[in-house]
């Protein structure tokens, strides 16, 4: 079955520290992978996406993610976290299933940033 | 550039009442989706549409109905609201079938059923 696992429900980091949010997926075909961010009271904003090619992808707001096929992972990273990065982060895997563009979301990781 | 617009943003209902949530997109997207977001469960697909006049069930369709009479609008209806339907509802749209296109999301509708 297709699924996405985000093992960490909550993460707290200090401002300026590095960040890594974990994402593991189970998908029968070549995955298309996404990271979305949701600020409080807002909708989901796309941070970055992976379709093919270079396994290290750059996104907005200084985020990057690395696709590791052997580990079925797509972890999100940022070298130095800012207070404004406090939000909930969702990993998603996409594919065409049953004739429609389908996204499967992880449960999310809520990030808190200490000053 | 409006993108995906959801109305209303907030609503409180009593058990048994009905209501309709409206989603409108101005990007000429073919595919539209309704999700619900509950704590610790991410987003779950309720219904979706692959074009004007078509709808289909997603992962959690029970208690909801949808309609797509116009390409730009996707309506989600609750015929008889239940407390279990208290949630945040998100609408999304995407250009077409190609799965490498990211979905665009609205800002959500926060619905409480008392």
Q: Per the CB < 8 Å rule, is A94 touching B100?
A: yes
The answer to whether A27 faces chain B, any CB pair under 8 Å, is no
A71, A24 Cβ separation under 8 angstroms: yes
Residue A68 bridge partners (DSSP): A73
Domain boundaries, chain A: 3-114
Vertex B90: Cα angle to B114 and A10 (nearest 5): 85
pLDDT tens string for chain B (114 positions)?
Answer: 679 999 999 999 999 999 999 999 999 999 999 999 998 888 999 999 999 999 999 999 999 999 999 999 999 999 999 999 999 999 999 987 776 778 999 999 999 999
Please state the φ and ψ torsions of residue B84, each to the nearest 5 degrees: -65, -10
In the block, residue with structure tokens 């209902």: B13
In the block, residue with structure tokens 């926060």: B110
Q: Per the CB < 8 Å rule, is B43 touching A90?
A: yes
Sketch out chain B's domains with CATH numbers.
4-113 (2.60.40.10)
Q: What are the E-state strand segments in B1-114?
A: 4-7, 10-13, 19-25, 31-37, 43-49, 56-57, 65-67, 73-78, 87-94, 104-105, 109-113
The predicted-structure confidence for B46-77, as pLDDT tens digits, reads as follows 999 999 999 999 999 999 999 999 999 999 99
The whole-angstrom distance between A81's CA and the closest CA on chain B is 23
Q: Are strands A44-50 and A32-38 parallel, antiparallel or unpaired?
A: antiparallel
Residue of A nearest to B101 (CA): A101
B89, B111 Cβ separation under 8 angstroms: yes
Residue B53, H or E segment: none
Q: Round to whole Å and give the CA distance between B11 and A56.
A: 42
CATH of A3-114, one of 2.60.40.10, 1.10.1040.10, 3.40.50.300, 1.10.357.10: 2.60.40.10
In the block, residue with structure tokens 């991410």: B42
Q: Per the CB < 8 Å rule, is A100 touching B41?
A: no
Q: What's the mean pLDDT in A83-100?
A: 88
| Nearest in space to B93 (alpha carbons), one of B43, B39, B29 | B29
Q: Round to whole Å and give the CA distance between B95 and B13.
A: 33
Write the DSSP symbol of residue B103.
P
What pLDDT shows up at residue B1?
61
Q: Round to whole Å and give the CA distance between B93 and B90.
A: 10
């Amino acid at each position: 079955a297709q699924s996405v696992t985000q093992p960490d429900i909550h993460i707290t980091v200090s401002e300026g520290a590095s960040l890594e949010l974990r994402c593991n997926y189970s998908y029968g075909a070549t995955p298309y992978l996404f990271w979305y961010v949701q600020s409080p009271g807002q909708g989901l904003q796309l941070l970055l996406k992976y379709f093919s090619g270079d396994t290290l992808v750059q996104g907005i707001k200084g985020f990057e993610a690395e696709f590791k096929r052997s580990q079925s992972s797509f972890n999100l990273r940022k070298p130095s976290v800012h207070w404004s990065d406090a939000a909930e982060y969702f990993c998603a895997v996409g594919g065409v299933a049953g004739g429609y563009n389908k996204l499967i979301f992880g449960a999310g990781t809520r990030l808190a940033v200490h000053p | 550039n409006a993108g995906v617009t959801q109305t209303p943003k907030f609503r409180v209902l009593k058990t048994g009442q009905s209501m309709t949530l409206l989603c409108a997109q101005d990007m000429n997207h073919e595919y539209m989706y309704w999700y619900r977001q509950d704590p610790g469960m991410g987003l779950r697909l309720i219904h979706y549409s692959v074009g004007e006049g078509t709808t289909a069930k997603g992962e959690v369709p029970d208690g909801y109905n949808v309609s797509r009479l116009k390409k730009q609008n996707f309506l989600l209806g609750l015929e008889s609201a239940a407390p279990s339907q208290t949630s945040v509802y998100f609408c999304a749209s995407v250009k077409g079938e190609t799965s490498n296109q990211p979905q665009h999301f609205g800002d959500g509708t926060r619905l409480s059923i008392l």
